[in-house]
Amino acid sequence: MFATSQTARLSRFAILAVTGAAALSVAACGGTSNNAKPTSANPTSPPPTSSSPSASAKGSDWVRGLIDSVSGNTIQVSQRSGTATVDFTPSTDVSELAPAQLADVTAGSCISAQAGRHSASTSGSGITARSVRVSPAVDGKCSSPKQPAGAETTPPPGASVPHGQVRGQVVSVAGNTVTLNNSDPSGNPSQTTVTVTDRTKYIKETITDAQALAQGKCIAAHGTKDNAGTLQATAITVQQADNGGCGEPGGGRHRH
């Protein structure tokens, strides 16, 4: 009787031990499941940084208009399409345009001359100029001039020149005839004559610095726009406004 009772107690103890172990195992598994952080099947990608290149930030860009303000190295410009921002650095080329006259056209200087609608010479070797833009030679050579707002675009050396326009380095000035050294569309050296009249208008470009950048002047800035739309200028041309307005393509005017 005692042995049977003892055996029964041992059996109950074994069952309790197994049951307890099983419970502890389930609890342990449950604790692990509750504490583990689930891994997302689709992790969120970090947002692109502002330094990512913009698809549109390629090639050359322009800003033309009236200077609203200059603060530090930043210029706010009023355009017909809205306000634009231009940033410049000490390495940005700055030049200024001002009215000129025939006396400013001298041997060694560079000019870009535009013919009137019906003033091209019959010989085909020159033009009668409606306007002449004078600029200094750089290291004895003429480079493609920077354009103000509304000016005709001048191509680089060797490229085709718009009809009725010639440019080059002045060889001589004799009376109303200016002789230029320039290049034909193939890049071969040639000479062209420009005839001026009392109706020819002149403008002179001079090299300057950031001190010339001032509120109320017209600006044509060339460079590349960054992701924020700010033009990082490599070259800037300024000139005095005409009655508060700047010339624009098509003959229109933009007023402040």
Sign of CA dihedral 103, 109, 114, 116: positive
Q: What is the pLDDT of residues 128-184, one digit of tens each?
A: 999 999 999 989 888 765 544 334 333 443 444 556 889 999 999 999 999 999 887
- Is 0.75 surpassed by the pTM of this model? no
Query: What's the confidence (pLDDT) of residue 108?
Result: 96
Tokens for 134, please give them: 């004078």
| 76-92 residue pLDDT tens | 999 988 999 999 999 99
Q: How many CB atoms lie within 10 A of CB 138?
A: 10
Report how far residue 106's alpha carbon sits from residue 127's, in angstroms, rounded to the nearest whole number. 18
Average pLDDT over residues 178-203: 90
When pLDDT is averaged across residues 213-233 and rounded to a whole number, the result is 95
Q: How far is CA 73 from the centre of its chain?
A: 15
Average pLDDT over residues 45-70: 61
Integer CA distances (angstroms), 55 to 47, 52, 58, 59, in order: 17, 9, 7, 11
Q: What are the start and end residues of each CATH 2.40.50 domain in the chain?
A: 61-88+213-255
**Architecture of domain 61-88+213-255 in this structure:** Beta Barrel (2.40)
Query: Residues 124, 175: contact at Cβ < 8 Å?
Result: no
H or E stretch covering 180: strand 177-183
Number of H helices, E strands in the chain: 1, 14
Position 251: which residue type? G
Helix (H, G, I), strand (E, B) or coil at 14: helix
